[in-house]
Structure 1
């Protein structure tokens, strides 16, 4: 068996000016765990593996500390963020290759002598494939065609057990504290994003105006509520921050609460005052929820209760 028969032809490759984030994406998608770096003639000049990329990763923020792998097991993998490095800075060179005609014994000797798990295969100088150590070992185990004197002694050094990289409870407490700091930072970021969305919604509502169609729909819903035996109907619900005082006058209650309304709620109140108040309808404002003990949403209710 020779390299051409054993090699895989499906692999990505890049030139030395490729972006590291692009290389990281290729590595995450390829099966052989390596991306070769080639020149303009497609000759291999280096290789990049995940360990190369780890050396180029931007340093972790000192205030958070490093989060251990077992705490991040179920989290979405973060986007690779390279530090101030280029591909040529971190790739392994030279790229030790074998020709397509290399015999199995020769491939094994090259990989053993250079401690390679993968080796580029070249046709002349052009990269055409990769041979993997595990497949070389499998071919030797299955073939048995080599004389015993020519069979290379290949081995993959087993990793020493590393069940625990820290040795004291204090270090474990440090890992837990780092994890909690990370969670807290994420909670703060989520709250910031929610607050920004809410502020934008309030700005949009403050600029919005009640249309005739919306007013007709409100009155139609009020009529349906009366037909169902009810004495009031919610006209509009809105964040209490839409009020100029954050809803405090409504919550007090203060008779001057209508003066704090903005946007559509202010238009609803004016339509009630001009069209419905002369016909005997009443209106009321109320804070209808209190998230974390603070005024949340407010609402305006149209009321027609009492004797006809």
Structure 2
């Protein structure tokens, strides 16, 4: 049996610029327990599991020690927050993956040697699915004899897929060759369009999730705590929140202009942050500013809201 015959399709994947809060929600909803990180060509560049996310949690104070297990029973798990860390800081990279044509026995050896519970599967360079070690073991448990095990032990651990011998080329006409070139270009364009649509759909879903997100009291207190620490270090401003400019109803154009009506374009947590500033901090002399802080390919990327105190006027 080959990897492509047992792999699970529908693996959740994100690009490296996804924020950890979104990745945590995607991981929680994934029955496979893993989220893949891919580049613009859908090539795996990392994987994220629950153990990766634990690296982003703030450490428990040494004097308190871990929370006893009996206190955690029957309690809802707290909402995961990325604490400002980037996905690249916590993901496992480079990922170990196998081609579709790999035999299950070879895949099992690699998973055992690297202690992997899950392993991505690629077709060419593109991510197409994931193997679960327990399913691989179940598939192989009834069909391997001692002779098979002995032969596997002698095989190298590097996966190699035999390449088919090329057929004899029957040369027809140059026009036939040009038709082959045109067919290849159409295939490349079709793959590019499919990839672009997948990336756009993922981005739109991420924006919808962020627009529905609400500011919690704990997150607001964390923002104010960072601002106080910045002031203690001699700074006159502090970033309250960073978010994709696409979260704004106009894609961040009003913030970039700047247009005095930019607060009306905010959605989700940024809108809540602005309201908290207006209601609680503006009467105390604090100011707020919005700025687009990234311009990938010349377009607004991430934006941020800054709390400003500066000198008294």
TM-score (norm 2): 0.46
Give 1 or 2 for the bigger CA radius of gyration. 1
Instruction: Give the alignment's TM-score, normalised by structure 1.
Output: 0.46
